């Protein structure tokens, strides 16, 4: 099983990612970053989820703000706590007595050449870790990210939340030379659970019922704010390349992040021309492929994620 560190901002879909990773991967550690709510809230949520899932792994808090700009929070979607909609257990322990950067470096050192970082929030912690220890890039098997879009955005017209939350960090991570997988909103919005899917979890145990409550809240937010009819399981998509690559098709591509202060800030610019066999003629290609970019999700993915929730639920004591 692939050793994984989940760098996240739980967050409803981050919670699903945590369970999906616990079912199919060797989840070694969790680090938290501001985003769906304040760092304090998302760290507390990560600890509550660990208790719910009976996961005894270190959880360390990281950045409470981006590298250069002011923090944004996703309360309109995820609520006042970042995980509104369900009664979660109180955390039964404190976060680890170290910064997320330290936990990332320790975990990567201990699993040299094998560790995958799954980043489902702003990329601030990962950028800081790469700056603190440049050898980190050689210690990682890869980084797999939920972020960006090649279509419409969810913060601005064309920017996605995780990249927009810290574009400078995203830019540094995508330029770092670490093998990278990137799944954007254009794909994750096609990986959505319906109200009927959510209702089907209600026949299960405490974990499945809690996830049903959380996903009901998430679906209602996405309906209200974005007019969606399904709850997008953005974050678990990032784990797919290391669980079952047949569930999302990825293609190698050059992706850059716009750091411009204006209309395009935080936008991911993907050079899709060569994927579509566009004749470039005299036009210079942007640059070498730096990521595997998600293109096409399989219809089997949502059932696979829902099955993971049921399976983890069934093995809880
Ligand atoms: C991303 O933003 C967050 O609100 C979600 O948890 C996900 O990581 C989707 O744009
Ligand atoms: Ca997230």
Instruction: Tell how far the Cα of 235 is from the centroid of ligand 2, in angstroms.
Output: 6
216 in contact with ligand 1, CB cutoff 6 A: no
Residue-wise pLDDT tens digits, 117-134: 999 999 999 999 999 999
Q: What percent of the chain has pLDDT over 70?
A: 99
Ligand 1, atom 4: closest residue by C-alpha:
36
What domain range is 99 assigned to? Answer: 3-274+283-316
Does residue 182 surpass a pLDDT of 80?
yes
268 in contact with ligand 1, CB cutoff 6 A: no
Instruction: Tell how far the Cα of 305 is from the centroid of ligand 1, in angstroms.
Output: 17
Residue 255, φ and ψ in degrees, nearest 5 = -125, 130
81 in contact with ligand 1, CB cutoff 6 A: no
Q: What percent of the chain has pLDDT over 90?
A: 94
Number of domains in the chain: 1
Give the angle 258-191-188 at the CA atoms, nearest 5°.
5
**Among residues 41, 180, 57, 190, which one has the least CA distance to residue 123?**
180
Q: Is 111 a catalytic residue?
A: no
Does residue 21 surpass a pLDDT of 80?
yes
Res 137: pLDDT:
97
Q: What is the CATH number of the domain that holds 213?
A: 3.90.245.10
232 in contact with ligand 1, CB cutoff 6 A: no
Residue-wise pLDDT tens digits, 215-236: 999 999 999 999 999 999 999 9
Residue-wise pLDDT tens digits, 267-311: 999 999 878 777 767 677 778 899 999 999 999 999 999 999 999
First and final CA of the chain: distance in angstroms? 23
Instruction: Tell how far the Cα of 162 is from the centroid of ligand 1, in angstroms.
Output: 6
Res 213: pLDDT:
98
Which band of pLDDT confidence, cut at 50, 70 and 90, is reported for residue 101? very high
């Amino acid at each position: 099983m692939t050793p994984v560190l989940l760098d996240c901002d739980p967050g409803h879909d981050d919670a699903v990612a945590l369970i999906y990773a616990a079912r199919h991967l060797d989840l070694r550690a969790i680090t938290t970053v501001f985003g769906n709510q304040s760092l304090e809230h998302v760290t507390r949520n990560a600890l509550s989820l660990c208790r719910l899932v009976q996961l005894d792994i270190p959880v360390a808090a990281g950045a409470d703000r981006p590298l250069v700009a002011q923090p944004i929070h996703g309360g309109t979607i995820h609520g006042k706590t970042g995980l509104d909609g369900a009664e979660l257990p109180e955390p039964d322990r404190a976060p680890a007595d170290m910064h997320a950067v330290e936990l990332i470096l320790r975990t990567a050192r201990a699993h040299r050449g094998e560790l995958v970082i799954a980043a489902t929030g702003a990329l601030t912690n990962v950028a800081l870790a790469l700056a603190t220890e440049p050898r980190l890039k050689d210690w990682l098997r890869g980084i797999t990210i939920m972020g960006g879009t090649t279509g419409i955005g969810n913060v601005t017209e064309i920017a996605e939340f995780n990249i927009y939350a810290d574009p400078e960090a995203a830019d540094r991570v995508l330029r770092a030379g670490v093998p990278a997988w990137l799944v954007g909103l254009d794909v994750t919005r096609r990986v959505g659970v319906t109200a009927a899917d959510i209702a089907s979890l209600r026949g299960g145990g405490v974990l499945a019922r809690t996830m049903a409550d959380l996903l009901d809240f998430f679906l209602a937010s996405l309906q209200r704010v974005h007019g969606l009819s399904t709850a997008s399981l953005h974050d678990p998509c990032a784990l797919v390349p290391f669980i079952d690559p047949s569930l999302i098709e990825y293609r190698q591509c050059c992706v850059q992040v716009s750091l411009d202060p204006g209309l395009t800030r935080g936008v991911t610019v993907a050079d899709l021309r060569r994927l579509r066999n566009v004749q470039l003629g005299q036009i210079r290609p942007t640059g070498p492929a730096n990521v595997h970019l998600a293109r096409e999700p399989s219809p089997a993915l949502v059932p696979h994620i829902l099955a993971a929730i049921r399976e983890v639920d069934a093995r809880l004591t």
